[in-house]
Amino acid sequence: MSDGQKLIELILGSEDWIHRQVERVDLQPTGDTIHNISMDLTMPVELALAGSRDAVLVPVTLLQKGPLSCFSVVGPDELPVPLLESGANSRLSATFLRARAAATYGYRPADEPFEVGLFIEDIVSADLRRGRQATERLRRFLQDRDLGAVDPVEAATFFSMVEVFSRCFLMAVELDAALLGRRCVVKYSYLDTRNDPHDRPRYEMSWDLEHFGVAGSYHFEFLSPQLLEIASVTLTDVTGSEVHLVAAELPPDGVSTAHLAVRPRARLSTAAVVVGLVPRRYGVVSQSFAATWLVAGMFAVVVVGRHLRDAFLPGATVAPTAAAILSAAGAIALTWIARTPEDRIVAAVLRRPRRHLLGAGALLILAGLYMAVPIPDPVRSVGWWAMLLAAIGVATASAVHRRRSRSGRSARRPR
């Protein structure tokens, strides 16, 4: 059996020898994520590909083309294993696609059209744009040639793999030949640099899983930051024209670690996973909700008290210490805002509640300054009414934000 035929069996039948794939995503303080992937596999003896001395090549998975940050790969016993460089990976990918093209269109490898080899070399190159262009050229070239009867299903499968290899590279490692036929584990990890907008009551992170169908089963784990919790984990499995949605069962109160296990429906299945994050019940969200309504209540008391004073105690004055008390209360509200976590994503998710606290503190300080300025009625009463309406607006915004950040949980709460 040629290397190309072995690669066809290994790649298209990977779910038969890669038993389980576990991916754990850790959210970093910067908002980036670290992906730790574990592959439980048994390399078939009859499909062994010769590597360097006393080693075999193992095509483990597919990864998006582009530079990989903080990348590492280890084999059994947590020892580092050699990883094929870009050129060798491209040659291995080209060998697979050329063998698959010959099998699909019914010609011998020795009779391969010269153009097919050129197009495939461009497809597996590191240049994404050149790969996409070469994919379309290869499609037109094979459609225009008279290559006899071609199974449309086989042709569709071939071009599905071509499109995958135009945007992904085949990650192959070298393992000791003594591991052939034995169950072992290969682990790799890398840093995913992200720049997501986080200023929302309910924040969602998503990842496209090109490697979803590689193994017989796929497991996804997510760890949330300290001040956030996981409200939902949803995986969308796309197999051809069929779309299947799988959601993790989480407790109503949210968790800090979530796990989702799915069996891919086909080798060529792709998927996307979405994780919903919300602030924890304690902390700035609850503080802003309570503080803003407390400030609104205080302004309501001031307005009502002024009307009662004019009705029952005309001419009475307010003690000068009241202005200082209001200013001090505003300063206390502002000190809560200063307790900002250094984590970028947590600080961004909690940005709106802090704005509500800032508004409440600013209104208190403004009220203290307003009391120190001798302004006659009815202008003074209009000013107090304006501050009351502003306080009610801030409190309402805080309540809406709090309700939206809890909407995912309430939907799952058992009746």
pLDDT in tens, 61-87: 988 888 888 899 998 888 899 888 888
Render pLDDT for 292-307 as a digit per residue (tens, 0 to 9).
888 888 888 888 887 7
Gap between the Cα atoms of 148 and 155, Å rounded: 13
| pLDDT for 186 beyond 50 | yes
Contact (CB, 8 A) for 224 and 279: no
| pLDDT for 265 beyond 80 | yes
| Burial class for 387, CB neighbours closer than 10 Å (0-12, 13-18, 19+) | buried
Render pLDDT for 191-243 as a digit per residue (tens, 0 to 9).
988 766 655 556 788 898 888 989 999 999 998 877 788 888 999 998 877 88
Token digits of residue 1:
């059996």
Q: Report phi then psi at 150, rounded to 5.
A: -120, 130
Gap between the Cα atoms of 105 and 64, Å rounded: 28
pLDDT at residue 319, rounded to an integer: 58
What's the whole-number mean pLDDT along residues 104-108?
A: 85
pLDDT at residue 134, rounded to an integer: 92
* pLDDT category of residue 94 using cuts at 50, 70 and 90: very high
pLDDT at residue 413, rounded to an integer: 40
| pLDDT for 153 beyond 80 | yes
Torsion (CA) 298, 299, 302, 303 in degrees, nearest 10? -140
| pLDDT for 412 beyond 60 | no
| Burial class for 414, CB neighbours closer than 10 Å (0-12, 13-18, 19+) | exposed
Token digits of residue 384:
């107090």
* pLDDT category of residue 262 using cuts at 50, 70 and 90: very high
Q: Report phi then psi at 271, rounded to 5.
A: -150, 165
Distance of CA 132 to the CA centre of its chain: 25
Torsion (CA) 200, 262, 175, 91 in degrees, nearest 10? -70
Contact (CB, 8 A) for 411 and 250: no
pLDDT at residue 389, rounded to an integer: 93
In the block, which residue shows the tokens 């503190």? 361
Q: What percent of the chain has pLDDT over 90?
A: 28
* pLDDT category of residue 314 using cuts at 50, 70 and 90: confident
Gap between the Cα atoms of 292 and 155, Å rounded: 63
Between 323 and 31, the higher pLDDT residue: 31
How does DSSP classify residue 28? Answer: -
pLDDT at residue 58, rounded to an integer: 92
| pLDDT for 288 beyond 50 | yes
* pLDDT category of residue 362 using cuts at 50, 70 and 90: confident
Strands of the sheet containing 203-209, edge to edge, are 203-209, 270-279, 228-239, 242-247
What's the whole-number mean pLDDT along residues 280-291?
A: 74
Gap between the Cα atoms of 51 and 405, Å rounded: 53
Torsion (CA) 348, 353, 358, 363 in degrees, nearest 10? 160
Helix (H) and strand (E) counts in the chain: 10, 13
pLDDT at residue 236, rounded to an integer: 93
Token digits of residue 293:
């309504």
Token digits of residue 139:
């499609």
Gap between the Cα atoms of 142 and 112, Å rounded: 11
What's the whole-number mean pLDDT along residues 116-141?
A: 91
Contact (CB, 8 A) for 258 and 233: yes
pLDDT at residue 156, rounded to an integer: 86
| pLDDT for 187 beyond 90 | yes
Average confidence score pLDDT of the chain: 83
What's the whole-number mean pLDDT along residues 9-33?
A: 89
pLDDT at residue 332, rounded to an integer: 67
pLDDT at residue 411, rounded to an integer: 42
| pLDDT for 18 beyond 50 | yes
Query: Cβ atoms within 10 A of the Cβ of 313, count?
Result: 9
* pLDDT category of residue 110 using cuts at 50, 70 and 90: confident
